Amino acid sequence: MKRTAFIIGTMLCFTLVSIAAQARQPVLRVSPFVDAGIGSSEASMLERLIASYIVELRAFRVIDSQGQEMALNETEAALSLGSSAPQAIPLTADYIVSGTIGRIGEIYVFTLEITRVTSGEKQSVSDTAVSISDIVLRARGLTGSLFGRQDSPAALPVSAAVDRPPSGVAPGVAQSLDRRKSPSATDLAGSWKGDKGLETVRLFPNATGLAVLSGGGTLKVRVSITGDIVEIAQDQPNDANMYRASSVTFEMARLIASQARPMRWLFTLSSDGQHLSGTKESISISGSGVSMVVDNNYVRDASWTRISR
């Protein structure tokens, strides 16, 4: 009898601890995503996808505008029937996640933003891609980046979102550790301000990337790592749009594209993960028109600075 009572008491204790832990979880509301010319149905589907990835983090009680409206209707119905203490009281959000997706030329831009309700503090991450399908494929990684995660989405909560570090990790320890001598593609993932000729470069955890060129074109790149050397290389055939500039005509750009070697950067990552520095193997141009000469032995210093993860 005593043993039975002990087991029941233990189970009750675990149940109460579980309930208390759930009660401490902050509430996060996913607001309807804003679309800029891509279609409301695509934006709604992307919103649901992001919401599912946030649920996988197991760090929040997640609600959305539709669910909150349903809860309000149920509460109103309960009150109209004379209930003074309805069982389901709508949750108020501690955090709000919003999303915006639109286009800049031929490039899709997707931005996720989280707002702390009590202070209005915001944090945002963005991604670019050449198609909606690519945005969908990268949505999980972008969601992880918003909450400071680059690993499995089913792991424990993150300090950036819930004001406490993951279980077993002391505050600030992960951030204070130096980068490994051999960085990974995950360490490099994020948006970078490029060197001359590049506006921004987005590197992805799968070792691919997309650069937006100053002349208006784009360039696909691929990342490979050997020891502490990060190689970022052109991953597409040459195209005239890659060499367009105010001083370069289209015919000149076509000629350069027909002769130029692929672009390649050889970098090392700084200890804080915020800078890539090294050299770029590119070309130099002399002459003009039909007498133009493309030198494929040109190498210069180059550096990129991280904009966001």
250-282 per-position pLDDT tens digit = 788 888 888 889 999 999 998 888 999 999 988
Asked if 124 and 148 touch (Cβ cutoff 8 Å), the reply is no
pLDDT-based confidence at residue 6 (cuts at 50, 70, 90): very low
Q: What is the pLDDT of residue 155?
A: 34
Q: DSSP class of residue 195?
A: S
On the question of pLDDT at 169 being above 50, the answer is: no
Q: 143 is written with which tokens?
A: 């969601």
Q: What is the pLDDT of residue 144?
A: 87
On the question of pLDDT at 38 being above 60, the answer is: yes
Q: What is the pLDDT of residue 225?
A: 92
pLDDT-based confidence at residue 17 (cuts at 50, 70, 90): very low
Indicate the CATH number of 185-308 among 1.25.40, 2.60.40, 2.40.128, 2.60.120.
Answer: 2.40.128
pLDDT-based confidence at residue 148 (cuts at 50, 70, 90): confident
Residue 295's identity, in one-letter code, is: D
Domain spans of the chain, in order of start: 25-176, 185-308
Cα torsion through 185, 296, 255, 278, rounded to 10: 30
Q: Which CATH architecture has domain 25-176?
A: 3-Layer(aba) Sandwich (3.40)
Report the range of poorest mean pLDDT among 34-43, 69-78, 282-291, 297-306. Answer: 69-78
Residues with Cβ within 8 Å of 270's Cβ and at least 6 positions away in sequence, in order, are: 179, 276, 277
- Same fold yes or no, 25-176 and 185-308: no
- Please name the residue that has the structure tokens 């990974």: 184
Write the pLDDT tens digit of every residue in 58-70: 888 888 765 555 5
The residue ranges of DSSP E strands in 17-151, in sequence order, are 27-30, 34-35, 61-64, 95-104, 107-116, 122-129
* Rounded alpha-carbon distances, angstroms, from residue 239 to 101, 114, 251: 27, 38, 12
How are the residues of the chain apportioned to helix, strand and coil, as percentages rounded to the nearest 5?
30, 35, 35
Report the range of poorest mean pLDDT among 163-167, 214-218, 300-304. Answer: 163-167
Over range 51-78, report the average pLDDT: 71
Higher pLDDT, 62 or 177: 62
Residue 253's identity, in one-letter code, is: A
